[in-house]
Amino acid sequence: MRNCIFPKILILILFATVSCKSTTETTVTISPEVLRDKIAGGWAGKMIGVTYGAPTEFRAQGKIYEDSIRWKPSDTWQSMWQDDIYVQLTFMMTMDQYGIDAPAKKFHEMFAKAGYMLWHANMQARKNYYDSIFPPASGSPEYSMHSDDIDFQIESDYIGFMCPGMPQTATLMADKIGRIMNYGDGIYGGIFVAALYAEAFFETDIPRIIEKALLSIPAESDYAKIIRDVVKLHGYYSDNWQAAWSELESKWGDVDICGAGSSFNIDAKLNGAYIAMGLLYGEGDPLKTLEIATRCGQDSDCNPSNAMAVLGVIKGFSGLPSDMQEGVSSAGDSLFVNTSYTFNSAVSNTYKYALELITSNGGSVTDHEISIKSQVPEAPANEVSYPDLVFDKAVSIFDTSAWKFTGDWKTFQRVSWPDNVLADQSLYAENAGDELELTFNGTGLSIEGNWVRDGGKADVYVDGILHRSIDTYYFFANQEHTTSMWHVLNLQPGEHKVRLVVKGEKRPEALGNCVYITQALLFKTGSKKSDGYKFSFE
């Protein structure tokens, strides 16, 4: 076992020390040892939670995870390979190289050029970087069908860890970084999580922490509404989280635009609600919090990771169960993949940045006491990624009654998962002038297809007008993917015609000019299920 970052003697001192005290209405103080201990607790909570839930990730979609959870604290070393941690450490590495106030484009650049695979909003943000679409546009609904996804929510922890008692500062930082890959509720998820940590440095009551963190996001946002629903459900089903989960699922379970038409839900707000459920029903108990946040399902490694990190800040590293401390400490000097960081160095640098932010925001630091000018939370203006957008239906590329083809379109086959059989996956064309056409009724459409190393370029027209040229090349970190390649939203209700024309062109590094299409997702304007929904007890 490697040496813990906090020797036993220091732990005894911490227990004997009053961790923080209020000196005035606008200033709070904390000792350097306690601040560092709480930052370490936050990072440790991330590591513990993500390894606890990792085997269950998306194993329960739209249902409670009922299988056994086999986890032991020594499994925490597996966090070295978790994107919940190494992606945000890339942002800290950007700060190390370019400063704490580096422009968003620098964060975007290092993130895009990192040597790891990405998915969903993060993957779209990387693609947008190489297509010269930079923040804030890179995370916007105009250039992403993933704006409300969970990505920034699982990557904003480091911001909260370095903003003790300073939710305004956390919000400003989160609003800048979050726009690399998200917008609207996707950004509010990151702000909310960062605010949970900012408040948890000086508050131990979990309902109060959630209440205060809500003040950092727009009250009229769907994200705020779903968290308030969790609080309401907890008040009614105080000893039955499963009943609360069932009512929450009935109201909010179909909100995800990214997973439209399926039970898969990577939406920030639903998964954020599961963080809140784990915290409220866990009642400060680490194992109970981990289990409930995990059994809520969907992105069930990320959610217990965030919930446990909140407990880590509240309790400090020294206040976590001893076996959890040992599990983290044994990996304390191991590098997180694709980063220059270990747990110990992440704690040290987060502490350093926290002191920098404290002093730059009117606080002061001495060897024995840190004085923080406390901040009243302020929410940004509300923005909605996909207002009144409702999924209608999917149209397979193999539905010849719906599509009109011109030119030489061929069938591409791929081994399907989990059946492991060769099956028709898409149609593709590569010659200039090859085109397809789809007429539909609705207000939005997403053309799904393959981003691949032999991907080429195409022009997409809506009702006869060129909407955008697209480039379907993607081969970063040896990754290819099937995703939304182009979309249009906010059309007038009624009939529309979309035409995709292959250009027979490619970027220099691409291996071909091919454009692969799998399906179209159609959307209409309407009311979401959550609008006007009443719980059974209301």
Dihedral angle sign, alpha carbons of residues 255, 484, 268, 290:
positive
Grouping H, G, I as helix, E, B as strand and the rest as coil, residue 26 is coil
**Residue 296 token pair:** 């809520």
182 or 1, greater pLDDT = 182
Give yes or no for a contact between 170 and 194, defined as CB atoms under 8 angstroms apart. yes
pLDDT tens track for 315-360: 999 999 999 999 999 999 999 999 999 999 999 999 999 999 999 9
Please check the confidence at residue 20 and state whether its pLDDT lies above 90: no
Mean pLDDT of 260-274: 95
Is residue 293 scored above 90 in pLDDT? yes
List the structure tokens of 317.
């590293």
532: exposed, middle or buried (C-beta count within 10 Å: 0-12, 13-18, 19+)? exposed
Give the 3-state secondary structure percentages of the chain, helix then strand then coil, rounded to 5: 40, 20, 40
Domains of the chain, with CATH numbers?
A: 8-60+68-373 (1.10.4080.10), 389-525 (2.60.120.260)
Reported confidence tier of residue 255, pLDDT bands at 50, 70, 90 = confident
* Pair of tokens at residue 110: 């290092």
Of 255, 280, 274, the C-alpha closest to 205 is: 280
Residue 17 has pLDDT above 70, yes or no: no
- Return the closest-CA partner of residue 266 out of 120, 123, 127, 145: 120
Amino acid 15: pLDDT: 31
Tell me the sheet residues that pair with 427: 411, 517
Mean per-residue pLDDT of the chain: 94
Residue 2 predicted with pLDDT over 60 = no
Which helix (H) or strand (E) element contains residue 323?
helix 322-329
> Computed from CA positions of residues 447, 298, 82, 146, in that sequence, does the dihedral angle turn out positive or negative?
positive
List the alpha helices (DSSP H) in 361-411.
none
Q: What percent of the chain is predicted at pLDDT more than 70?
A: 95
Structure tokens at 18: 């009053």
Higher pLDDT, 417 or 162: 162
Q: What is the pLDDT of residues 384-419, one digit of tens each?
A: 999 999 999 999 999 999 999 999 999 999 987 777
Residue 165 pLDDT exceeds 60: yes
Across 115-135, b (16+ Cβ under 10 Å) vs e yields ebebebbbbbbbbbbeeebbb
pLDDT in tens, 68-112: 999 999 999 999 999 999 999 999 999 999 999 999 999 999 999
Q: State pLDDT tens for residues 450-471.
A: 999 999 999 999 999 999 999 9
- Give 263's Cβ-side CA count (13 Å radius): 11
173-198: average pLDDT:
98
Quickly state the pLDDT bin for 25 (edges 50, 70, 90).
Answer: low
Least confident residue range of 4-8, 149-153, 315-319? 4-8
The pLDDT value recorded for residue 419 is: 78
pLDDT confidence of residue 417: 74
Comparison of pLDDT for 23 and 432, the residue scoring more? 432
- Which pLDDT does position 525 carry in this prediction? 95
Q: Is a pLDDT exceeding 90 seen at residue 528? A: no
